[in-house]
């Protein structure tokens, strides 16, 4: 077994293997330990043997460097000859393509030329360069200690303890403002509260995304899917943050197709139902609605939700059904929310209760 | 301003009425005018109707024959539907035109979804079929040409497309996968009329986008965006089918990593 322990001595590496002496009782005499083979024999290259080949390699390297020069000049010329015309996407493409080709040629020419030079013309036989010790002479070591002691004596660092300690105190406290600055990167309010509530509240009208026009219950015909944002979202300064939580998908099914659980009987309006569009897995917008099978598919990780069974998860990594938004109509026939969602929307987080 | 302007003729009229004309004269005049215009209008429209009904009844008869021969097995003799196919009562001309002109109907075989294939009917036969189905019950009609020009607001169309369509059809209209073998087809090179009809009728598993959800003008904008994509080259160069990470990743795995492996081998190989 000891042989296997030594088998990392790969051929070609000049590592001297030292082993502990075997104890006479259990030692197995090893007769076939692999020996360090040292360097392989040096094979001269064609360029070493044939002066014509050497000349040719030299020309090849020079050509590669010239190609690099041409590439760089080409990039500059193309940038001037094919300028970017504002509003013309085709011109951006031509400009970027030619500029990129030129710069690529410029860089590749240098790289390929350098490698070709090293491989074909530079000295290529392996050699061993021994490292020298890094410890200084006793004189330099003494001198260094002397310098430190002199500094201490001249500055009084060790003697004037008041100055020294107050300086250490000042240095320790300088990073403290950074803590306050970095704390500012976190949300101002309690993030748990932000995650638990959305913009929806009693009486908020359901409006079209992206126009913000309110939706009447009579507009939502069977088989329709409406992408919904709360009324007033477009006027908010934190529009995107709010939309990321409040986006809703509105659908209409035959009321007899819905399997409504106890306590949710009044959450739909004549078969019109609204569900959060934010996937409970990692928060992608779930909006691939199949109106025939009534399945909702999340495009990111293929979670599937059954809309007839209150968005129950029927496939994929999502763990919880999509939260339902209780809706009704107001006196003018517009769809409104009865309240906020009854549970936090989107993926799990530490402080989520269910 | 408008109020004061309308008040002037009124007061003038009153002055006149108090003059020589009988109070009943104006009423009589209005009556005569109404009867005359109404009569003339009725005369013209009835004559126009007569010719169109004649034409459409011939179409309906032809459509009825085609329906009995090609569709009635599954959809029922009176469009009532059977276990294997839905009722066609009230689906409208738009739905029939979409299904028949793209070859999705008559269906070739039952599968996860009906796929596009060469149309089985001529344009005239298709027209006969949808006229017949539309004559049974009202439904969404053939879209008006004014919305199919593809020269409306492409930016607004892109916004609407991203919200309503892109999750299934891909942001560049390249199509995408759905559940259990179903898929949203690519929208590149699709006729404007077909796109409009699909939005309006929601074929198969596609949701319906009625005129309250996407107004005809908004549908025209969506069509404009899709036509813009058809007619303009991808500004980023090779689009690799616009499939996103799948095709781009595959390209990089094969060509990008292949290049890196090749260069590495060349770098470490000994010259000979």
* Residue B210 in contact with partner chain A when CB distance is under 8 A: yes
A205 and A115 share a domain? no
For residues A113 and A223, state if they share a domain: no
Residues whose CB falls within 8 Å of the CB of residue A71, separated by 6 or more in sequence, listed in order: A101, A102, A103, A104, A105, A106, A107, A108, A109
Q: What does the block give as tokens for A230?
A: 């709360």
Domain boundaries, chain B: 51-136, 145-232
Do the beta carbons of residue B200 and residue B215 sit within 8 Å? no
Q: What is the pLDDT of residues A76-119, one digit of tens each?
A: 999 999 999 888 878 888 899 999 999 999 999 999 999 999 99
Higher per-residue confidence, B199 vs A9 = B199
pLDDT score, position B110: 78
| Rounded-to-integer distance, Cα A302 and Cα A288, Å | 10
Q: Write down the residue that tokens 């299904």 correspond to.
A: B99
Q: Is residue A69 part of a domain?
A: yes
Q: The domain spanning residue A204 has which CATH number?
A: 2.102.10.10
Give dist(CA A114, CA A62) in Å, integer.
10
Out of 3.40.50.150, 1.10.760.10, 3.40.50.720, 3.40.50.300, select the CATH number for domain B51-136: 1.10.760.10
CB atoms near residue A241 (< 10 Å): 13
Is B208 near chain A, with CB under 8 Å?
yes
Q: Which two tokens stand for residue B100?
A: 């028949």
Q: Is the pLDDT of residue B237 over 80?
A: no
Interface mutation target, options A87, A111, A254, A292, chain B, most CBs of B under 10 Å = A292
Fold of domain B145-232: Cytochrome Bc1 Complex; Chain D, domain 2 (1.10.760)
- For residue A238, give the nearest of A194, A206, A280, A204 by alpha carbon: A194
In-domain check, residue A75: yes
Residue-range definition of the domain harbouring residue A248 = 194-337
pLDDT tens figures, B165-206: 998 998 888 888 888 888 999 998 899 999 999 999 988 889
Position A89 in a domain: yes
* A51 lies in some domain: yes
Instruction: Classify residue A2: in a domain, yes or no.
Output: no
The mean pLDDT value of chain B amounts to 82
User: Does B7 have pLDDT greater than 80?
Assistant: no
Domain count, chain A: 2
Mean pLDDT of B18-36: 73
Interchain contact, A290 vs B209, CB within 8 Å: no
Q: How far is CA A90 from the centre of its chain?
A: 31
Go through chain B and tell me how many residues it has: 272
Query: Is residue A22 included in any domain, yes or no?
Result: no
How far apart are the C-alpha atoms of A223 and A207, rounded to whole Å? 18
Query: Which of residues A120, A143, A174 is at a domain's end?
Result: A120
Domain stop point among A62, A87, A120: A120
Q: How large is the average pLDDT for residues B44-59?
A: 62
pLDDT score, position B3: 44
Same domain, A83 and A200: no
**Adjacent-strand bridge partners of A337:** A327
pTM of the model: 0.69
B198: closest CA of chain A, how far (Å): 12
The pLDDT tens digits for B198-231 are 999 988 889 999 998 999 999 999 999 999 988 8
The pair of three-digit structure tokens given for residue A220, joined into one six-digit string: 């939502």
Provide the shortest C-alpha distance from residue B232 to chain A (in Å).
9
Chain A: nearest CA to B210, how far in angstroms? 7
Quick check: is A41 in a domain?
A: no
Instruction: Give the residue-averaged pLDDT of A336-344.
Output: 93
CA-CA-CA-CA torsion sign (A114, A117, A120, A126) = negative
Shared domain check, A222 and A101: no
Asked if A94 and A205 sit in the same domain, the reply is: no
The pLDDT assigned to B207 comes to: 92
* pLDDT recorded at residue B69: 86
Q: Is the pLDDT of residue A134 over 50?
A: yes
On the question of a common fold for B51-136 and B145-232, the answer reads: yes
Tell me whether B236 touches chain A (CB under 8 Å): yes
Contact A223 B208 (CB under 8 A): yes
**Of A63, A97, A120, at which residue does a domain stop?**
A120
Rg (CA), chain B: 30
Tell me, yes or no, if B259 comes closer than 8 A to chain A by beta carbon.
Answer: no
Contacts of A226 in chain B (CB under 8 A): 213
């Amino acid at each position: 077994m000891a042989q296997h322990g030594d088998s990392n001595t790969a051929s070609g590496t000049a590592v001297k293997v030292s082993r502990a002496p075997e104890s006479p009782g259990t030692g197995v005499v090893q007769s076939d330990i692999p020996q360090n083979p040292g360097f392989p024999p040096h094979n001269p290259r064609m360029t070493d043997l044939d002066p014509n080949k050497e000349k040719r390699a030299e020309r090849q390297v020079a050509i590669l460097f010239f190609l690099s020069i041409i590439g760089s000049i080409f990039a500059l010329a193309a940038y001037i000859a094919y300028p970017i015309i504002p509003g013309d996407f085709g011109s951006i493409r031509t400009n970027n393509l030619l500029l990129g080709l030129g710069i690529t040629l410029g860089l590749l020419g240098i790289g390929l030329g350098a490698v070709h030079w090293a491989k074909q013309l530079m000295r290529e036989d392996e050699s061993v360069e021994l490292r020298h010790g890094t410890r200084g002479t006793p004189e330099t070591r003494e001198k260094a200690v002397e310098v430190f002691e002199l500094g201490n004596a001249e500055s009084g660092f060790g003697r004037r303890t008041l100055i020294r300690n107050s300086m250490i105190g000042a240095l320790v406290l300088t990073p403290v403002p950074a803590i306050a600055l970095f704390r500012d990167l976190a949300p101002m309010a309690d993030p748990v509260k932000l995650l638990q509530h959305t913009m929806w509240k009693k009486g908020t009208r359901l409006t079209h995304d992206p126009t913000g026009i309110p939706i009447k219950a009579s507009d939502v015909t069977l088989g329709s899917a409406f992408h919904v944002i709360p009324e007033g979202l477009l006027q908010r300064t934190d529009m995107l943050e709010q939309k990321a939580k409040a986006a809703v998908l509105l659908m209409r099914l035959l009321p007899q197709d819905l399997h409504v659980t106890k306590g949710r009987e009044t959450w739909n309006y004549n078969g019109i139902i609204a569900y959060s569009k934010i996937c409970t897995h990692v928060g992608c917008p779930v909006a691939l609605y199949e109106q025939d099978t009534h399945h909702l598919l999340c495009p990111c990780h293929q979670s599937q939700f059954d809309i007839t069974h209150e968005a129950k998860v029927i496939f994929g990594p999502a763990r919880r059904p999509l939260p339902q938004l209780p809706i009704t109509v107001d006196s003018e026939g517009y769809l409104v929310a009865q309240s906020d969602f009854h549970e936090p929307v989107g993926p799990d987080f530490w402080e989520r209760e269910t | 301003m408008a109020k004061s302007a309308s008040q002037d003729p009124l007061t003038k009229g009153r002055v006149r009425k108090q003059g020589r004309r009988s109070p009943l004269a104006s009423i009589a005049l209005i009556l005569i005018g109404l009867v005359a215009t109404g009569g003339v209008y009725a005369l013209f429209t009835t004559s126009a109707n007569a010719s169109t009904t004649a034409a459409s009844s011939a179409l309906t008869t032809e459509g009825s024959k085609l329906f009995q021969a090609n569709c009635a097995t599954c959809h029922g003799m009176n469009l009532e539907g059977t276990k294997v196919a839905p009722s066609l009562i009230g689906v409208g001309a738009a739905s029939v035109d979409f299904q028949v002109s793209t070859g999705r109907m008559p269906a070739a075989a039952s599968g996860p979804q009906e796929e596009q294939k060469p149309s089985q009917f001529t344009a005239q036969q298709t027209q006969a079929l949808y006229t017949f189905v539309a004559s049974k019950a009202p439904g969404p009609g053939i879209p008006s040409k004014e919305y199919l020009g593809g020269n409306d607001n492409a930016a607004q169309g892109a916004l609407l497309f991203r919200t309503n369509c892109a999750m299934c059809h891909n942001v560049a209209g390249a199509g995408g996968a759905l559940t259990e073998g179903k898929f949203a087809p690519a929208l590149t090179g699709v006729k404007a009329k077909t796109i409009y009809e699909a939005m309006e009728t929601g074929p198969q598993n596609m949701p319906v986008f009625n005129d309250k959800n996407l107004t005809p003008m908004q549908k025209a904008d969506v069509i404009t965006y899709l036509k813009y994509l058809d007619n303009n080259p991808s500004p980023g160069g090779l689009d690799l089918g616009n499939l996103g990470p799948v095709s781009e990743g595959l390209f990089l795995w094969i060509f990008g990593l292949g290049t890196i492996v090749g260069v590495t081998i060349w770098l470490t190989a000994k010259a000979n």
